[in-house]
Amino acid sequence: MDERQALSAFAALSQETRLRIVRLLVTAGPAGLAAGALAGEARVSSSNISFHLKELERSGLIQSRREGRSIIYRAAYPALSGLIQFLMRDCCQGHPEVCTPAVAALAICCNPKGDTAHA
């Protein structure tokens, strides 16, 4: 992840419909969702969802595959992780307490054993 990619990713995430799409795909997991399903959830026209899906794919935050008449989109988890890494790299020089909350926040959904998170 370099500065160009990060700027493109943040620009993609700064639009209401696109942020909703990414969050829907993040919770949907690797199975992903079809363009039509996303248009329904986000309540926008098919031409509009197509435009935003293209923007998100161009930024690298999502990926697509065809399945019959549908195109299935899924979150690009490594890109999301790379983006967070880029933003927080070298944080808190000698003051770990300032960014540990971010780690704890992520651990809530990512700990396989569930032994340090609230769930």
Give the interface with a second copy as residue ranges (CB under 8 A). 3, 6-7, 10-11, 13-16, 19-20, 22-23, 26-30, 75, 77-78, 80-82, 84-85, 87-103, 105-112
Q: List strands edge to edge, sheet with 33-34.
A: 33-34, 70-75, 62-67
Beta carbon nearer to a second copy, 68 or 74: 74
- Name the minimum Å distance from CB 67 to DNA: 8
DSSP 74: E
> HSE of 9 in the Cβ direction (CA atoms, 13 Å)?
23
DSSP 94: T
Q: Which amino acid is at 16?
A: E
The residues that touch DNA, with contacts defined as CB under 7 A, are 11, 14-18, 34-37, 39, 44-55, 64, 66, 68-71
Beta carbon nearer to a second copy, 69 or 108: 108
